[in-house]
Amino acid sequence: MGNNICGIIVNALPDFNGQEEFDKKKLKTKFTRTKIKSLSPKDLSVGFKDKNTLIFLDLIFYQNISEEQVLTDLEKDIAAIFPHARFLILVINDTVGFTGYSLVDEGIKLRTKAVVNGDIFLDYGDLNSKEMELYDFTQEILMVYPDTLKKMEGNITALNDAAKKKYFLLYRDLLLKKMNKENKLHYRDGSLDNHIIENEFHGILNCDYYDIETLDFIEFERRKLNFKKDSLKEYLFMAKRELS
């Protein structure tokens, strides 16, 4: 059975000092305290683990992650609530072959990538440590074939540094296939992104995906959010109040 996960994890708790202005209508939203039944729930679900915040909602990423340097409205909302935090917006839907994430640290977008069925449609930011490891590996192999390396570098002179490195990661997939070598971390098919998401998830929460099902969550009767006018602030406030 494949994974179906859609949500946000933040390495901080919301800190409300009593001076906030809240939308009174949202504060009246009905909710239930429950164990989470899905990591891609139809209703907005908020919980906490240690000093971290967990927010899950099906399709919350939709139109809320992009390959622009500027933060999306959702990313701005989270960054405003957690100004010094690191957060990961993630979506994994193995049924439709969709994997995507956006990683933001202290209000700066580090990396956004999304693929569906082998096609890359979002790819922003510099390589992370795992991607750099694979890039360095590819360079080491190509050092044995200097003519090939020189030709490839000539084809990408117009690209910026990050794009050049991504070009070599794509070539790595082809190279390993030609060499009949096992490749568990493809750049294009989502397997590398799954690995990166899982490591970031575990690094923040110190647990695996389905360990989350043992936690108490507040499930709100709210299925859609438009972050041009909505905020998660009220829901986080209510969840922290109820789960404290």
Two tokens at 57? 């909602």
Residue 233's pLDDT is 97
pLDDT given for residue 136 in this prediction: 96
Q: What's the pTM?
A: 0.94
C-alpha 233/C-alpha 5 separation (Å) is 22
Query: For the residues 162-188, what does the mean pLDDT come to?
Result: 94
Q: What is the mean pLDDT of residues 64-70?
A: 95
The average pLDDT across 103-111 equals 98
Domain boundaries, the chain: 4-118+190-243, 125-188
Q: What is the mean pLDDT of residues 29-36?
A: 97
* pLDDT tier, 145 (very low <50, low <70, confident <90, very high otherwise): confident
